[in-house]
Amino acid sequence: MRHAPLSGIRMGGSALVFAVTALGLIAGTATPASGIAAMGDDFAPFDKVVEGLNRVSTNADGTPGYWDLYEDREKGRMLAVLPKGFEGKLMMIACTVSGGDSQAGVMGPTIYAKWERIGDKLALVAPNFGVRTDGDRAAKESIENLFTGRVILSAQILSMAPGNRPVIDFGSIATRQTNRFFGSAVYGSYGPSLYGIDPSLAKITKSKAFPENVLIEYQAPRSDGQIVKVTFDIGALEGTPGFKPRKADPRVGYFYDAYSDYARPANADVTERYITRWNLEKADPNLKLSPPKQPIVWYIEHTTPVKFRRYVREGIEMWNKAFEAIGIVGAVEVYQQDSSTGAHMDKDPEDARYNFFRWNASEQGYAIGPSRAHPLTGEILDADVVWHQGLTRAIRTMYENFTDDLTLQTFSPDTLAFFAEHPDWDPRVLLAEPAKRAQILHKLALDTDQAATEPLGTRANPWTTMAANHANSACTIGNMLSLDISLADAALALGMLDAGDGEKLDGLPEEFIGQMIRYISAHEVGHCLGLQHNMAASTIRTNGEVNSEGFTGASVGSVMDYVSANINADFGPVQGPYATTEVGPYDMWAIAFGYGPESEVEKVLKRSAEPDHLYIPQPAIGIGSDPRNQTWDMGKDNLTYAENRLALVQEIRSKLLTDIVDDGESWAVARRRYSTTVGSQLQAMSVASPYIGGSYASLSFKGDENAPEPITDVPADEQRRALNVIMDAAFEDDAFGLTPELVRHMGKEYWWDSAGINELMADPSLTVHNLVAGVQGTGLTMLMNPTTLRRVYDNEFRTQDQKDAFTLNELLTTVTNRVWRETGEQGVPTSSFRRSLQREHAERLMTLMLMRSGDPTMRTIGTLATSELRRIDGMAEKALKANPDAYTKAHLEDVRTRIARSLDAAYVIGR
């Protein structure tokens, strides 16, 4: 369907696509004129205006384009002739940076607007869809008078083409008013921002005029000299007559549009929400199984590698099972475009009439599945999937494998704000190479300062970013998949993964790679059907079930989760499917809600409490505390998954030098592989951390069948087990699998290009103490950040009737006992890693003690931290009497001095 290059952005109905490389737009405003000029008065002759320009012709059959375009590519001139009857008709304008940026191809903001003529100018006006009413005429007039639209820009009418069609200089708009379309994420953009380009150096690099859209691509430098490309996709906003919106429900995860109706009674909810979905109906409603009136048709682009096409098709067609369950057979059709046979080569992926599964050469590690819906009804008008080939690459050639996603996903916005004030708690800082730490601190400080000075309501804070990501169906499914691919590769080398007799794809068994591609294809198409992420869906089956003899069916509740690859590390007797082979029971239920008969909706929703229908919205990962709601986990018992993943990591490390690095390979491979295992180690810790202070959430309503209470606290034993998982993985020396021999073999390569620069800048000798300290500090952050401590403390109130409740005091004392264990074991030396851990732990307690807050929970946390520091001081005093080695003696003396001074400071500042 109509689609910006590399972006998958498309429009429904009549649509215009403009791809612009580096757009610099100077804000234009409409100038009111007294009186409305008659069409055709006082304008230059049309033939004279387009003289010397070439008309853009794309369609082989001579069908005219949605807009007539006239261009001079080298000079960057582009005139657009608007269609007859254009005025007042709604359009969708999708904006995308399509080249020259690390996020090129990620869709930007979508603007809904219409042209209004004011004298000899056209004003592009965005109506206010956020406030409207279904009330009487007086109510509508009141709403319309108060909540008016916004002028985006104005354009001078240059001439009138035959048929009284105005001619405008779209090239000037595209290159001089970029900032009117692009901005930060608060405008609804998940991709890069663009505030301007140099119009004097802009040139047209692509232009197409399809019946329902037109595509133009400009290329020009930004203010920093970087050449960029930008896509505008503008299309008539035309929905299906008679389409009935369906109200959204919090028990099922659909994308939705919303508006406020202030004309409703004072005691009524003024917000109306309706899901986004296709107009998919039975051709014959009387048949139990009927084909659709109009199927959802997909074309797989010919650029998709032949070796992957089968799995892409199977992933798209996977959804037919869900539609068949509600009586629609063949709801989704898939066709392969093929350059060798010519099949469907007459269809252009940038033509708005077609939905395409696109494949591009970007090394970005994600796929995107955006769709565009009518803002007044929620009807999905078109969609595309864009698969970046970097998604299928393992990270075997990468050096840095600790990404923010590994550790930050479970931290709430409150905790991220705490990191801004206490960057020494921030995993991004703790896990950074020493050479990069100052740079990261500087960037975080700049981000904080910028957020503080931006106007209220336009700050790019976690909440606005979350809303923007929701609106754009942002999906970064590949960011962590590469870790699984690398682990699978290592497991294959160790003989832990059965390669079978089949062929290999990209060095891994075809069965593994193929299943992952099929699953992710289904995931992205799910977004195109209107479904949000459901990150709790991976917990409906045990790992033992999935890896048992004769297991068939869905291994997860939904393909809309980010599910870790099922690598059988002692889970069961056989290797089960690496990824789910079909849509899950939640997917079936969600499709029944969104696409089944309206008369059945309430009956469907009553089944929300069934275990297989578990749904928790993605934003709750950071905001909420349900340990089931996580990415890149697998199985009903996430703690078992974490423990087994850690065991797999240790097995790989033990054989890095003997079985992983092959003869003829650089020893840099050992360092890269070890780095990968650290990433998996952090991932396992992250999976365990939400159990501490966690609670299981239910979105079911009162009266739903077998619905549990809305909040059920995680049992105390599970919290203690999670605590031990993190402490075992982060605090113990043997958790890192480091030996002198292994460290001596961690080589590196010296390449100055972009792919090798990170490894080049790293210390030639692995900085083991910094690496270990980073993981230790991250573990302490997971356990001791104020949000986790507050949750544990609040849970005490809800569990006060339980004899063996997990308490805040138990958490803090257990951590202290583990960290300072050596002080109570006479004659046991304290290793260099453990000394670093102990000092970091003491400093964390000092921070908690000295925090000034009127929050009663923080006061309690501060007093318990004070108590722990006094206890540590006593431990250190006793250990010093045992005549420890010089390192330990100096360390303990320093700790005692710091504790004494911090205790004095605590009482000086008061609480």
pLDDT tens readout for residues 492-534: 888 777 666 667 777 778 888 899 999 999 999 999 999 999 9
Residue 624 — very low, low, confident or very high, per pLDDT cuts 50/70/90?
confident
Q: Do the domain assignments include residue 227?
A: yes
Q: What is the pLDDT of residue 50?
A: 96
Closest CA to 338 of 307, 367, 306, 362: 306
Of 130-139, 683-692, 877-886, the poorest mean pLDDT is in 130-139
Residue 478 — very low, low, confident or very high, per pLDDT cuts 50/70/90?
low
Of 493-507, 733-747, 863-877, the poorest mean pLDDT is in 493-507
Count of beta carbons in the 10 Å neighbourhood of residue 97: 33
Phi, psi of 472 (to 5 degrees): -105, 10
**Could you report the per-residue pLDDT of 181-192, keeping only the tens digit for each?**
875 433 334 445
d(CA 240, CA 325): 24
* Strand boundaries in 499-624, DSSP class E: 504-505, 508-509
Last residue of a domain, one of 192, 220, 236: 236
Collapsing DSSP states into helix, strand and coil, what is residue 655? coil
Span 685-711, mean pLDDT?
96
Q: What is the pLDDT of residue 470?
A: 47
Residue 472 — very low, low, confident or very high, per pLDDT cuts 50/70/90?
very low
Of 389-398, 537-546, 674-683, 755-764, the poorest mean pLDDT is in 389-398
Span 549-566, mean pLDDT?
95
User: In the chain, what percentage of residues exceed pLDDT 70?
Assistant: 86
First CA to last CA distance, the chain = 62
Domain hosting residue 49, numbered range = 15-236
d(CA 347, CA 358): 13
d(CA 144, CA 711): 42
Does residue 221 or residue 854 have the better pLDDT?
A: 221
Asked whether the predicted pLDDT for residue 17 surpasses 50, the reply is: no
Q: Do the domain assignments include residue 673?
A: no
Per the CB < 8 A criterion, the answer to whether 258 and 278 are in contact is no
Last residue of a domain, one of 217, 236, 255: 236
d(CA 481, CA 487): 10
Q: Name every residue whose Cβ is closer than 8 Å to that of residue 99 and which is 6 or more positions away in sequence.
A: 5, 6, 21, 219, 227, 228, 229
* Strand boundaries in 339-443, DSSP class E: 355-360, 367-368, 371-373, 380-383, 385-388
Average confidence score pLDDT of the chain = 86
Q: Name every residue whose Cβ is closer than 8 Å to that of residue 426 and which is 6 or more positions away in sequence.
A: 419, 444, 781
Residue 479 — very low, low, confident or very high, per pLDDT cuts 50/70/90?
low
Of 457-466, 535-544, 573-582, the poorest mean pLDDT is in 457-466
Of 125-139, 380-394, 441-455, 816-830, the poorest mean pLDDT is in 441-455
Tokens of 533: 């992420």
The verdict on pTM exceeding 0.75 is: yes
Span 622-642, mean pLDDT?
92
Q: Do the domain assignments include residue 263?
A: no
Q: Do the domain assignments include residue 889?
A: yes
Number of helices (H), then strands (E), belonging to the chain: the values are 27, 26
**Could you report the per-residue pLDDT of 658-697, keeping only the tens digit for each?**
998 989 999 999 998 898 899 899 999 999 999 999 999 9
d(CA 391, CA 382): 24
d(CA 197, CA 219): 9
Q: What is the pLDDT of residue 115?
A: 95
The secondary structure of 182-210 as a DSSP string is ---GGGT-SS-------GGG-EEEEEEE-
Sort 330 into a burial class: Cβ within 10 Å, 0-12 / 13-18 / 19+. middle
Q: What is the pLDDT of residue 43?
A: 93
HEC sequence for 825-838: CCCCCCCHHHHHHH
Asked whether the predicted pLDDT for residue 363 surpasses 70, the reply is: no
Structural domain count, the chain:
2
Per the CB < 8 A criterion, the answer to whether 563 and 579 are in contact is yes
**Could you report the per-residue pLDDT of 63-116, keeping only the tens digit for each?**
888 899 999 988 889 999 999 999 999 988 877 788 887 666 666 678 899 999
Span 20-43, mean pLDDT?
42
Span 254-276, mean pLDDT?
92
Asked whether the predicted pLDDT for residue 417 surpasses 70, the reply is: yes
**Could you report the per-residue pLDDT of 436-468, keeping only the tens digit for each?**
788 788 777 776 554 444 333 333 444 444 444
Distances 194 to 10, 20, 364, 464 between C-alpha atoms, Å: 20, 11, 19, 18
d(CA 367, CA 370): 10
Q: Give the helix/strand (H/E) hosting 768.
A: helix 768-784
User: In the chain, what percentage of residues exceed pLDDT 90?
Assistant: 60
d(CA 90, CA 235): 8
Q: What is the pLDDT of residue 441?
A: 81
Q: Do the domain assignments include residue 840?
A: yes
Q: What is the pLDDT of residue 506?
A: 72
Last residue of a domain, one of 236, 264, 281: 236
Asked whether the predicted pLDDT for residue 551 surpasses 90, the reply is: yes
The secondary structure of 6-53 as a DSSP string is TT----SSSEEEEEEES-----------SS-PPTTTT-B-HHHHTTTP
Asked whether the predicted pLDDT for residue 14 surpasses 60, the reply is: no
Q: What is the pLDDT of residue 454?
A: 39
With tokens 């898939």, the residue in question is 334
Q: Do the domain assignments include residue 74?
A: yes
Distances 68 to 194, 666, 816 between C-alpha atoms, Å: 27, 58, 73
Span 283-307, mean pLDDT?
97
Tokens of 789: 């401590």
Closest CA to 601 of 240, 245, 243: 245
Q: Do the domain assignments include residue 746?
A: no
Q: What is the pLDDT of residue 192?
A: 54
Of 192-201, 556-565, 717-726, 818-827, the poorest mean pLDDT is in 192-201
Q: What is the pLDDT of residue 469?
A: 45
Tokens of 347: 């269809």
User: What pairing do the DSSP bridges indicate for beta strands 711-713 and 695-697?
Assistant: antiparallel
